[in-house]
A = this chain, B = another copy of it.
Amino acid sequence: MTPKEELQRRVNGLQDRMKADDCDAVLVMQNTDLYYFSGTLQSAQLYVPAIGDPVLFCRKSIPRAARECPWNIIPINNYKYLPDKIGDFGHKLPERLGLEYDVIPVSAYLAVKKAFPNAELLDASNWIGELRSIKSPYEIEIIRNAGKTMADAFTYVPELIRQGLSELAIAANIEKVLRDHGHQGYIRMRGFNQEFFYGHFLSGPNGCMASFNDGVTAGSGMGAFFPQGPGERRIQINDPIYLDYVGVFDGYNIDQTRLYVIGVLPHKLKYAFQVALEIQETLLAQIKPGVVASDLYDSALDIADRAGLTDNFMGYGSERVKFVGHGVGLELDERPVIAKGFNVELEPGMIFALEPKFVIPGLGIAGIENTWLLNKSGVEKISVLPDDLGTIPY
């Protein structure tokens, strides 16, 4: 259960941003944001006025909301009653009302617009994204533990990888280990149309297959209907075996990638793996409060260029993606985005994955990914598993 002081601090952060922009209220509607500001994840909307306590308008479950959420809870079953209920509660109706434009569907937006015909609607998603990008000591403690649990679970992985088994068969065993360690299963993503299921277990040339998702890899998946993640390909000697997995423990995401091989990794991939480690080391030396995200991307690209791997960096050719890292938290795709054009200064409390990776056509993918916390004094590794290439006996 999230402590009230923690929720109050988050609400205050949102209210500060609202006041600076003359916004009278934000109506929080999306699951993750609801949980973040209210401590409960119910069928509800959280009305956050610029001044005063939030009110949770809840359809169900009200008993559950009452156990988890310190704010006033008002039963409601339709947006159209919101203005009346807000009035009942002594609040003036908002003239400027913020909504999460990045995640709420058009139908919900139009319903709110109809319910508040005199309000000017505006986009509150930047405020929420910025606020959530800085993790509190309370969150950092949860995320540290999540990182340890993920590393612990991954000590069981090498013994599950065997020549001749399919990607999917091995992935099913890894998923069971993660679940037995308390993995929540469901992975929340904020981006429209983004989907993810545990991880990308990709072997050999399957590591070169991109798809709809915003990441570097997709893999074969199981068919056109789910074109990412493990598929039917069987593991062979000398394959690069690439595991980009997400651990979700106590609600928080840990993103990490490790590379394994049964036998000997092809020279080009071994070289690419070394360059990826070099990029990671260089970025870590550069990261401190105030460093600009896009400068980190440029540094990474410089190293890729000097290594002769420009066309292979973060995808191949026209399918390259233009980032080298991203924030993680309650969702897998948070801020900051460490990307071309993302001119934001990193701040203490940010937690992000760095994932320099290279796609070598015909052979597969090599790279590393860890989740890091930026402290005042420097960077702390959250995904505490060793970075080495995992060599599996056969």
Which of A39-47, A236-244, A293-301 is near enough to bind chain B? Answer: A39-47
List residues of A (25-39) whose CB comes within 8 Å of B's CBs. Answer: 29-31, 35, 39
Tell me whether A225 and B180 are in contact in the complex, defined as CB-CB below 8 angstroms, given that A42-B211, A210-B60, A211-B61 are known contacts.
no
CB–CB A210/B64 < 8 A: yes
Partner among B184, B197, B318 whose Cβ is within 8 Å of the Cβ of A226: B184
Q: How far is the CA of A35 from the CA of B209 in the complex (A)?
A: 18
CB–CB B211/A225 < 8 A: no
Q: How far is the CA of A192 from the CA of B209 in the complex (A)?
A: 30
Q: On chain A, which size bracket covers the interface?
A: 35 or more
CB–CB B318/A62 < 8 A: yes
Which of A82-90, A99-107, A281-289, A362-370 is near enough to bind chain B? Answer: A99-107
CB–CB B198/A185 < 8 A: yes
Q: Which B residue's beta carbon lies closest to that of A172?
A: B179
A144 to chain B, nearest CB (A): 16
Q: Which B residue's beta carbon lies closest to that of A192?
A: B105
Number of copies: 2
A41 to chain B, nearest CB (A): 6
1/0 per residue, CB under 8 A from B, across A181-207: the answer is 010111010001101111000000000
Q: How far is the CA of A180 from the CA of B227 in the complex (A)?
A: 18
Let me know if A290 is at the binding interface, CB within 8 A.
Answer: no
CB–CB B35/A224 < 8 A: yes
Partner among B64, B171, B223, B227 whose Cβ is within 8 Å of the Cβ of A227: B64
Let me know if A110 is at the binding interface, CB within 8 A.
Answer: yes
**With A29-B193, A43-B211, A175-B175 already in contact, 6 other A-B pairs whose C-beta atoms are closer than 8 Å:** A44-B212, A60-B318, A102-B105, A104-B105, A184-B197, A224-B251
Q: List 16 A-B contacts (CB under 8 A).
A: A1-B224, A41-B225, A42-B211, A62-B319, A101-B110, A104-B105, A105-B105, A106-B123, A107-B123, A168-B182, A175-B179, A175-B185, A184-B222, A185-B197, A185-B229, A223-B251
Show the binding face of A for B, using Cβ within 8 Å.
1-2, 29-31, 35, 39-44, 60-62, 64, 68, 75, 99, 101-110, 123, 125, 168-169, 171-173, 175-176, 179-180, 182, 184-186, 188, 192-193, 195-198, 209-214, 218, 222-227, 229, 250-251, 318-319, 330
